[in-house]
């Protein structure tokens, strides 16, 4: 089975490109982030024509996550247990806000429990969104750890845009990002806590060292200058990680007119 994740930065704008890539890359399950549409606006017919079932949650022109599968899609779950909400007008009480954003959707596809995740950006170290991001990650860690306690043999994939570069090797310039989000110590500790809960970054063994990125900003010619970040991940439970035979970034999909600012990450799973 081929499992992939891709922040497409608007599925309606890039549906032709996504469908063509699914066929070319021979992907069985794709987790999608930043669909930027409501459920009734998602181009589900195009995916159905290509042989994929869809699970999607989108509330507005922001956020939005989906799973496309050609190996079945069962037990769809919108939001993970304990997922905190965010209300831009809530101030100090934002973590108890009732507004749960469209940032997580889970489904069982070909025997694998796949979660498509769009972790909050954080915006700035002093922004309430940063506190929300850390709370969101802590809740995901706690829930993921519980899943593995309940079933150590569970095959779970936590995949998507994590908006964190876990090490200095994952950014083109650590100095450039000093004092910014995505690289702060609390964010990196939050990512590491998910790993320590039992989930493995499956791509790193196949792509060690610096220079392996999944995101390049549209500005300042970041892509041609190879100034990127690795912030998109497939984190696998122990039983699933044992099945991974290869993992790559399809950097070619960042090229050309109309590309997303992210590239797909793909993992090959043995039967």
How many residues belong to the chain?
271
DSSP state of 242: T
The active-site residue out of 52, 118, 132, 213 is: 118
Measured distance CA(123)–CA(182) in Å, rounded: 9
The active-site residue out of 161, 170, 201, 232 is: 161
| Nearest CA-CA partner of 266 in 23, 12, 26 | 26
Measured distance CA(100)–CA(122) in Å, rounded: 16
DSSP state of 102: S
* Residue 1 CB neighbour total at 10 angstroms: 18
Q: What Cα–Cα distance (Å) separates residue 35 from each residue in 10, 15, 62, 158?
A: 5, 10, 8, 18
> How would you classify residue 92: left for phi > 0, otherwise alpha for psi between -120 and 50, otherwise beta?
alpha
- Is 118 marked active-site? yes
Distance of CA 135 to the CA centre of its chain: 17
The active-site residue out of 52, 130, 232, 262 is: 262
DSSP state of 171: B
Q: Is 7 annotated as a binding residue?
A: yes
Q: Is 39 annotated as a binding residue?
A: no
Q: Is 44 annotated as a binding residue?
A: no
| Nearest CA-CA partner of 160 in 193, 111, 218, 114 | 114
Measured distance CA(144)–CA(139) in Å, rounded: 8
Q: Is 34 annotated as a binding residue?
A: yes
* Residue 75 CB neighbour total at 10 angstroms: 10
Q: Is 261 annotated as a binding residue?
A: yes
Residues involved in catalysis: 118, 161, 262
- Annotated binding-site ranges: 7, 34, 161, 163, 261-262
Q: Which residues are annotated as a binding site for Mg(2+)?
A: 7, 34, 161, 163, 261-262
């Amino acid at each position: 089975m081929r499992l992939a994740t891709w922040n497409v930065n608007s599925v309606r704008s890039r549906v032709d490109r996504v469908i063509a890539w699914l066929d070319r890359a021979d992907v069985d399950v794709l987790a999608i982030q930043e669909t930027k549409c409501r459920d009734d606006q998602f181009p589900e017919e195009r995916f159905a024509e290509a042989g994929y079932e869809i699970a999607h949650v989108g509330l507005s022109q922001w956020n939005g996550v989906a799973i496309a599968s050609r190996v079945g899609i069962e037990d769809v779950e919108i939001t993970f247990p304990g997922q905190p909400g965010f209300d831009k007008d809530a101030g100090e009480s934002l973590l108890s806000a009732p507004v749960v954003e469209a940032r997580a959707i889970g489904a069982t596809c070909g025997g694998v429990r796949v979660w498509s995740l769009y972790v909050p950006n954080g915006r700035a170290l002093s922004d309430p969104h940063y506190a929300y991001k850390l709370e969101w990650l802590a809740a995901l860690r706690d829930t993921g750890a519980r899943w593995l306690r309940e079933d150590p043999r569970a095959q779970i994939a936590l995949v998507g845009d994590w908006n964190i570069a876990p090490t200095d090797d994952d950014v083109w310039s650590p100095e450039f990002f000093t004092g910014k989000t995505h690289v702060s110590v609390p964010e990196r500790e939050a990512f590491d806590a998910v790993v320590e809960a039992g989930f493995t970054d499956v791509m790193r063994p196949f792509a060690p060292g610096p220079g392996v990125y999944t995101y390049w900003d549209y500005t300042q010619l970041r892509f041609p200058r190879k100034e990127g970040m690795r912030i998109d991940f497939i984190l696998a439970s122990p039983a699933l990680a044992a099945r991974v035979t290869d993992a790559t970034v399809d950097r070619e999909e960042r090229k050309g007119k109309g590309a997303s600012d992210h590239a797909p990450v793909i993992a090959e799973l043995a039967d």
